Amino acid sequence: MSTAPRPARRAASPEKTRPSVFWPLAAVVIPAVGWFARIEISGAEHLPAEGPYVLAPNHYSEFDPLIIAVATWRMGRAPRFMAKESLFRVPVLGAALRATGMVPVARSSSSAAAKVTLEQSEALVEHDRGVIVYPEGSLTRDPDMWPMRGKTGAVRLALAGDIPVIPVATWGVQRILPRYGKLSFWPPRKRVQVRLGPPTDLAPYRRPSGGAALIAATDAVMADISGLLGELRGEDPPAERWNPAAHGQNETGRLEP
């Protein structure tokens, strides 16, 4: 009886096979997340096995960073996120963030932020690290949970160091923790899909640079993320993305006074 050959197993990168703080974290987090989710990954070949990258997921549940972290680890890379700069000043937490190579979000003037972004990008290239950046900046406000309008941080980081931006979409996490809802413990191992696409083509936005080019590049990334999510949902994404500012909302989703 003949059987179809199994696809070649993806080799893990040195950052996963080399002992690090991620090993004890994975020993705790992966089984815990495994109780809630049965993660199915497609398009893993688009995540570089080595070298820097920016992974850009959609964001519709407070639980989906854990899904992305576990999926990234399973694909052979260490999951590093962008985190608020203020968190790095918190005792113990700040040390943990630095130890795991998390990247602080620059919250300063435009000129200072550009300098910090360049330094962060150079560090990713120097250390062959990737970073996970949520382009939306917060949970989507779209009523149907489609990706909303993105912010330019991910493409700024990518363009500064000629780093690929890998769009990724997840679906099913809302059954574990609905947006602003309560955690669902039962039934366990709910199906969660994670799909990666090829790097977004940012070549048209490298020259000329500037605000308009960054916005256009971000729109291209968000379009790729929306397309992947449409494949997972079996639906066409909306022609226009939800813009919180147009609906009188600030970054937290609250109505502006």
Give the pLDDT confidence score for residue 122 in this predicted structure.
84
Retrieve residue 55's tokens.
């992974």
Retrieve residue 184's tokens.
């669902």
Q: Which helix (H) or strand (E) covers residue 199, if one does? A: none
Report how far residue 204's alpha carbon sits from residue 52's, in angstroms, rounded to the nearest whole number. Answer: 20
Q: What is the pTM of this model?
A: 0.88
Q: Give the CATH fold of the 49-176+186-239 domain.
A: Glycerol-3-phosphate (1)-acyltransferase (3.40.1130)
Give the pLDDT confidence score for residue 228 in this predicted structure.
98
Region label for 51, one of left (φ > 0), alpha (ψ between -120 and 50) or beta (otherwise): left
3-state secondary structure 22-89: HHHHHHHHHHHHHHHEEEEEECHHHCCCCCCEEEEECCCCCCHHHHHHHHHHHCCCCCCEEEEHHHHH
Segments making up each domain of the chain, as ranges: 49-176+186-239
Report how far residue 208's alpha carbon sits from residue 60's, in angstroms, rounded to the nearest whole number. Answer: 33
Give the pLDDT confidence score for residue 21 in this predicted structure.
82
Give the pLDDT confidence score for residue 2 in this predicted structure.
39
Each of the 257 residues of the chain gets a pLDDT tens digit; together they read 434 444 445 666 777 777 778 888 899 999 999 999 999 999 999 999 999 999 999 999 999 999 999 999 999 999 999 877 777 888 877 887 888 888 887 655 455 566 677 788 888 888 899 999 999 999 999 999 999 999 998 999 999 899 999 999 999 999 999 999 999 999 999 999 999 999 999 999 987 667 899 999 999 999 999 999 999 999 999 999 999 888 766 555 543 33
> Which of 184, 165, 166, 164 is CA-nearest to residue 174?
184
Give the pLDDT confidence score for residue 249 in this predicted structure.
63
State phi, psi for 52 to the nearest 5 degrees.
Answer: -75, 155
Report how far residue 82's alpha carbon sits from residue 192's, in angstroms, rounded to the nearest whole number. Answer: 23
> Which of 172, 125, 147, 122 is CA-nearest to residue 244?
147
Give the pLDDT confidence score for residue 8 in this predicted structure.
45
Question: Do 68 and 79 contact (CB within 8 A), yes or no?
Answer: yes
Report how far residue 37's alpha carbon sits from residue 173's, in angstroms, rounded to the nearest whole number. Answer: 8
Give the pLDDT confidence score for residue 29 in this predicted structure.
93
